[in-house]
Each structure stands twice: as C-alpha cells, then as structure tokens.
Amino acid sequence: MIQRQDGELESEGDHLMTDRELVVQLARLARLPLDPEQADAVASIWRARVNEASNVPVESLRGVGLPLHLHLEAS
C-alpha cells in the first residue's frame, strides 16, 4: 500500500482502499474478530485517532524520548 498526498491509502492495483476496507484487512491480519456491521464504526474511530496523532508536527517531537514510566519530581 502507498499513501497519496491527500492521506488516502492506495493498494498496488491503484484501487483506492476505504478506511472500512483497511480496518477489515488489519483485523484479518491481526486475527481479530470483527463484525462486518461494526466495521464502519471501528474505521471511523480508527481514522480519527490516526489523523489526530498525525497532526502533531513531527518536528515538535524532536529530541523527545519515550516516557515508559511517567517520572515526576516534586518541585
């Protein structure tokens, strides 16, 4: 799959994969039971989460490590 400039994903055959199809494929790969009737709702949440996280500019994360444990100091 490749990502177009508008953010949509395309498979190799130039078929535009919808979020629903993508989520169904991901569930299949993860062997996660997914009721087809729920696929649109799952895809909607999935897309929202991925888009929102992607909206955080990558340069703003420069030098930021991963807080595996939230470390706080009294001040």
Partner 1 sequence: MIPPMDISAAAALIKEGELSSVALVSSTLERLRTVDRHLHAFVTVDAEGALTQAERLDRELQDGRQRGPLHGIPVGIKDIFDVAGMPTKCGCRAFSDVPPASTDSTATARLRQAGAVIVGKTTTHELALGVSTPPTRNPWDLRRSAGGSSGGSGAAVAAGSIMAALGSDTGGSIRTPSALCGVVGLKPTYGRVSRAGVLPLSWSLDHAGAITRSVADAGLLLEILAGPDASDPSTLGQPAYNQPVLGNESLSDRRLGVVPEAFLDPLEESVRNGFEEAVEAARTLGAAIVKVSIPELKWALAAEFTIILAEAASYHEELLRMNPELLSEDILTQLQAGHLLPAATYLRAQRTRAVIQAAFRKAFDGHCLDGVLTPTVPCTAHLTEQTEQDMLDLSGTEEPAGQAYVRTTGPANLAGLPAIALPFKLSPEGLPISVQLLARPFQERELLRMAKALHDAAPCGLPWREPAGLGRALETR
Q: Which is nearer to partner 1, 14 or 73 (CB)?
A: 73
**Phi and psi (nearest 5°) for 62?**
-55, 130
Q: Which is nearer to partner 1, 14 or 33 (CB)?
A: 33
Q: In the numeric block, which tokens belong to residue 63?
A: 């030098």
One-letter amino acid at 13 equals G
Window 1-20: residues binding partner 1 (CB under 8 A)? none
Q: Tally Cβ neighbours within 10 Å of residue 39.
A: 19
Q: How far is CA 1 from the centre of its chain?
A: 14
Q: Which is nearer to partner 1, 14 or 35 (CB)?
A: 35
Residues that bind partner 1 (CB under 8 A): 23, 26-27, 30-35, 38, 41-43, 45-46, 48-50, 52-56, 60-61, 64-67, 69-70, 72-75
